[in-house]
Amino acid sequence: MNILNLLRIALKALANNKMRGFLTMLGIIIGVASVITMLAIGQGSKKSIQSQISEMGSNLIMIQPGGDMRGGVRQSSASMETLKLADYESILKETRYLMAISPVVNSSGQVVYGASNKPGTIYGVNADYLEIRRFNIDDGDMFTEQDIQSAAKVCIVGKTVIDELFPDGDSPIGKVIRFQKIPFRIIGTLKSKGYNSMGMDQDDVILAPYTTIQKRVLAITHLQSINASALKEELTEQAVDEIAGLLRQNHKLKPDDPDDFTIRSMEELSTMLTTTTDLLTVLLASVAGISLLVGGIGIMNIMYVSVTERTREIGLRMSIGARGMDILSQFLIESILISITGGAIGVLSGIGAAMAINAIVKFPVSIQAWSVLLSFAVCTITGIFFGWYPAKKAAQLDPIEAIRYE
């Protein structure tokens, strides 16, 4: 018996039991749709995290003072003064893997303009800070190297600061705000970046020359941190090692002395977050995959019922010359048709559900071609695997006993 005849017989058998066939497919449909939707949510979350980290500067390197023991008491890194301007200048001149570097000092306090005020933090940086943190000037200009040398009382501000201090929509350029009673003239504004992946408002920022904050606000000579940007994300590790070597040399640390500084990179954060997201994606897909297993068991159950119901038909076919392989192929084709049809409907349902989640809940999703192919392949294999045993049982029936079956 050729394959076309077997296919026609299988389709006719399924058509005679439409509702039973659909209910059998339902497990496969739900399983495939669930797997595709869960993978789309997981991959969407991963891409969203990577995108937000990239906005913060995917090759960002943060250098901070390390904690130390004094009188048996461990001191906070914030109170340490181990980072100096000499360290910044040394890194600037001697490193090969950095494209931008900026000293960072900051102070928190009340920012006032006229009758408006807000709590805020002012950061003392240089012009490279914009490139490191992926900020862009929206209006006006960035302060210059001359402003840094003269410790000029100028600043640039983010959108959140503008909205709260200038609610009437006036241009802030040229206006003077006060931070801890010290006047700062606004010479530029930053383009909005919104919130980052950790929920921090990236627009609530005031940037000024680091020398101004050191001398006029904090009255310090050391640096609170140094931010840098590697030439490429893949060169971040080499840059970190090079910086660590220079700082140990500058601070005259012995080989067995611990570092008196801490270096962190966004690569570490990115790896940690994406690993967590991948784990959650696998977990969600595994839970959803249980539906495929249940659907496969449903196919096996229905095929057993079908074999029992059609025992006389099987006996008649075998008595007129049908081989065991023909009977096996007939029932196996039926189970494959059920799983493939259910898989196709499941794929469409999964894509539709993922798009609906993105449209209604605004949750990031990313439908990957491999997840669709994988789900479809798994449901096809499920149909073959769970349909094989009932089909084999049908093929091994004794023709005489089958004909006698009531």
DSSP 368-405: -HHHHHHHHHHHHHHHHHHHHHHHHHHHTS-HHHHHH-
Whether 87 and 225 map to the same domain: the answer is yes
- State yes or no: pLDDT of 114 exceeds 90: no
Residues 278 and 249 in one domain: no
Q: Which residues of 133-167 are buried (b: 16+ CB within 10 A; e: fewer)?
A: bbbeeeebebbeeebbeebbbbbbbbbbbbebbbe
Position 163 in a domain: yes
Question: Do both 40 and 106 map to the same domain?
Answer: no
Give mean pLDDT, residues 163-183: 91
What confidence score (pLDDT) does residue 63 get? 92
What residues make up the domain containing 161?
A: 81-259
Question: CA dihedral in degrees (394, 397, 401, 406; nearest 10)?
Answer: -10
| Residue 59 located in a structural domain | no
| C-alpha–C-alpha distance, residues 104 and 209, integer Å | 9
* Same domain, yes or no: 312 and 255: no
Cβ(62)–Cβ(42) below 8 Å? no
To the nearest whole number, what is the mean pLDDT of the chain?
A: 82
Residue 63 lies in a domain: no
Residue 160 lies in a domain: yes
pLDDT, residue 130, reads 92
The whole-number pLDDT of residue 124 equals 96
Kindly tell me if the per-residue pLDDT of 73 is higher than 50.
no
Counting residues of the chain whose pLDDT is more than 70, the rounded percentage is: 83
Q: Are residues 104 and 221 in the same domain?
A: yes
- How would you classify the pairing of strands 182-190 and 154-157? parallel
Last residue of a domain, one of 214, 238, 259: 259
* Number of compact structural domains in the chain: 2
Please tell me whether residues 240 and 280 are part of one structural domain.
no
User: Which pLDDT belongs to residue 305?
Assistant: 73
Q: Which of 36-40, 108-112, 121-125, 401-405 has the lowest mean pLDDT?
A: 401-405
- 93 within a domain of the structure (yes/no): yes
Examine residue 265 and state whether it is found in any structural domain, yes or no.
Answer: no
Instruction: Identify the band that residue 72 occupies on the pLDDT scale cut at 50, 70 and 90.
Output: very low
Same domain membership, residue 216 and residue 85: yes
Residue 288 has pLDDT above 60, yes or no: yes
Biggest alpha carbon distance in the chain?
A: 106
Residue 309: both structure tokens together: 């119901």
Whole-number Å distance between alpha carbons of 376 and 302: 21
Mean pLDDT of 348-359: 89
Position 277 scores a pLDDT of: 74
- Range with lowest mean pLDDT among 65-79, 98-112, 134-148: 65-79
The CA–CA distances, whole Å, from 214 to 132, 210, 218 equal: 21, 6, 5
Look at residue 295 and tell me whether its pLDDT is greater than 70: yes
243 lies in the same domain as 309: no
User: Does residue 189 surpass a pLDDT of 50?
Assistant: yes
Same domain? 137 vs 24 = no
Pick the last residue of a domain from 211, 236, 259. 259
Is there a single domain that holds both residue 250 and residue 340? no
pTM passes above 0.75: no
Q: Are residues 131 and 244 in the same domain?
A: yes
Q: Which band of pLDDT confidence, cut at 50, 70 and 90, is reported for residue 314?
A: low
Range of 65-74, 137-146, 267-276, 331-340 with top mean pLDDT: 137-146
Is 213 among the domain residues?
A: yes
Domain boundary among 259, 290, 310: 259
Please indicate, yes or no, if residue 264 is contained in any of the structural domains. no
Query: Is there a single domain that holds both residue 321 and residue 397?
Result: yes
Residue 161 has pLDDT above 90, yes or no: yes
